[in-house]
Amino acid sequence: MTDRFVVLSGCSGGGKSTLLAELAGRGYAVVDEPGRRIVREELDRGGQALPWADAEAFLRRAVAKALEDRRQAEAQAGWVFFDRGLIDAISGLEDMTGEPALAEFGQAHRYNRTVFLTPPWPEIYETDAERKHGFEQAVTEYGRLVRDYARLGYQTVEVPKRPVGERADFVLARLAP
């Protein structure tokens, strides 16, 4: 287990990326969401491994990218905050294909036992060129992630709906020894 690898997961459009940017601004190492990076790459090259075109190919790329992110993060000192990560990708892939990969990958590639979840927050939810799914789909995804992190023995902590600085303070306080 890598206790210093901390996952920010939860509802799409719940403020994870904004929270990650706040933590980066405070000097912490961060890893951007694999899915967003893949979408940008695919759009730039005219590829089809997109959640709305070929969701399975997209999720398989997200798994590979998350594994590479973990490998590269080993070189970082101190806390490393991940905007989503391997468990999110494997959870989506297992849900889509029925392939029972969550337990195997989830146990082999552990993060800090505390996972911070951003809850559904309709007041800030937006679609964009990289996020085309609606709020209801995001809420369904949130429920699946809550279930799957619990299945793997993680303690999930919901991040309060507050200004981003207070949210970062909340996360850091929960991690303090």
Q: Where are the domains of the chain?
A: 5-175
Which residues in the chain land under pLDDT 50?
none
Do the strands 155-158 and 114-118 form a parallel or antiparallel pair, or are they unpaired?
parallel
Identify the CATH homologous superfamily for domain 5-175.
P-loop containing nucleotide triphosphate hydrolases (3.40.50.300)
pLDDT, position 123: 65
Q: Please name which of 158, 26, 134, 152 lies closest in space to residue 86, comparing C-alpha atoms.
A: 152
Stated pTM of the model: 0.89
**Would the CA dihedral through 31, 13, 120, 62 be positive or negative?**
negative
The DSSP call for residue 156 is E
Q: Please name which of 140, 104, 134 lies closest in space to residue 10, comparing C-alpha atoms.
A: 140
Query: Mind listing the pLDDT tens digit for each residue in 117-134?
Result: 998 766 655 665 665 556
Q: Please name which of 148, 168, 13 lies closest in space to residue 79, comparing C-alpha atoms.
A: 168
Query: Mind listing the pLDDT tens digit for each residue in 134-167?
Result: 667 778 889 999 999 999 999 999 999 999 999 9
CA–CA distance, 8 with 154 (Å, rounded to integer): 12
